Amino acid sequence: MPKVLRIINRFNIGGITYNVSYLSKYLAPEYETMLVGGPEEEGEDSSLFIPESLGLNPIVLNQFQREINFKSDYAAYKEIKKIIKEFKPDIVHTHASKAGAIGRLAASSCKVPVIIHTFHGHVFHSYFGKLKTNFYKVIERYLAKKSTAIIAISNLQKQELSEVFKIAPKEKIHVVPLGFDLTKFTVNKEENRKEFRQKYNLSENQLAIGIIGRLAPIKNHQLFIESISYLKQNNITNFKAFIIGDGETKQQIKEFCVQNKVSFSENPKDEADVIFTSWITNIDFALHGLDIVALTSLNEGTPVSIIEAQAAGKFVVSTNVGGIKDVLHPNCGYLSEVNDKMAFFDNLLKACKNEPKMYEDGINWALSKYSYTRLVDDMRQIYAQLLKRA
């Protein structure tokens, strides 16, 4: 039985943990998998409950840190090499940047037959200045040469990696969209909606607008707050907005609320324009209570919140970044370019004027294209192909 060592940056709430957990669980019995990753950072919630709920026992490497730190990174590199020598994997599959750098270097040093890296997103624009961005491009091009294959999570991302940023030739890049267990978003809708709206003191005809994800500069929550201010200026007042998540920019977002005359609270019962909920782990409960899901990011891979929102039958208003255009059903949302604030404002205004309803096209689209069974089948075929070649 071939062995797979699967490495992720850290076990924090997000789509990556779900995907590596499904692959680790459901590629068995054809493949034996060991799952390794770093701990969550301050301001994040741990996602270890996801693999553990599937009966997995991942290894947490405390040496893995988000920022570059040569001492801890070298310690992580040595620990991964030790794991490789003991586990003897046929495949090392890394997910996201830090795991991709340390894991691929260790695998190459240990002469692992097949080395694969999945780009769940990239940092080639909107994260850093020009010098640092170019530095990361050089590193990724070097690491791509040490990789047997690269996985992109959308066709657009493959185009960016091969043609725009020239990280690897297109022949080396396979497109495997994300996959999830979306069935929970199709059941208990009425019960969840009633409970959510009671908890947050929403009247039956009051619109609930939510944005889901970590609070970080790249997520551009300022645009969300500005759009809430725009709604008020245009006499849309029968709504409550929700910032679902937590992170480093929470205080800045609150200050931006004050600047834009947008009231906010962390008390679910308050009559504020914006409620900060922190993380909600049973996100189906939240999505069933919402009417509109927004995303304001400057850069994305494939945002999980958009897939889950559609699986729950919700309308989406988003910036057109990363693979979102590939993910979003055209009947189930509005897109605007990231540098066009007014278009985003008007799209949200237009969405608020729509009659709230279930968007069946989005439900069918998400379930058919982004199920974990499809993800596992796609990866099984790629593994077999690469092992045969190796």
What's the distance, CA 130 to chain centroid? Answer: 24
Please name which of 42, 88, 41 lies closest in space to residue 60, comparing C-alpha atoms.
41
For position 122, what pLDDT does the model report?
A: 63
Q: Residue-wise pLDDT tens for the chain (390 aa)?
A: 999 999 999 998 777 999 999 999 999 999 999 999 999 887 678 999 999 999 999 999 998 887 778 899 999 999 999 999 999 999 999 998 889 999 999 999 999 999 999 998 665 654 566 787 787 788 999 999 999 999 998 888 899 999 988 999 999 999 999 999 999 999 999 999 999 999 999 998 999 999 999 899 999 999 999 999 999 999 999 999 999 999 999 999 999 999 999 999 999 999 999 999 999 989 999 999 999 999 999 988 778 899 999 999 999 999 998 778 889 999 999 999 999 999 999 999 999 999 889 999 999 999 999 999 999 999 999 999 999 998
Please name which of 74, 75, 85, 106 lies closest in space to residue 7, comparing C-alpha atoms.
106
For position 127, what pLDDT does the model report?
A: 53
Asked if residues 118 and 136 have their Cβ atoms less than 8 Å apart, the reply is no
Task: State how beta strands 333-336 and 91-95 pair.
Answer: unpaired
- Strands (DSSP E) found in 176-273: 207-212, 239-244, 264-265
Backbone φ and ψ for 240, nearest 5 degrees, come out as -140, 135
Question: Rounded to an integer, what distance in angstroms lies between the CA atom of residue 66 and that of residue 77?
Answer: 14
For position 106, what pLDDT does the model report?
A: 98
For position 299, what pLDDT does the model report?
A: 83
For position 375, what pLDDT does the model report?
A: 96
Instruction: For residue 97, give both structure tokens.
Output: 């940047």
**Which bin fits 220, alpha (ψ -120 to 50), beta or left (φ > 0)?**
left
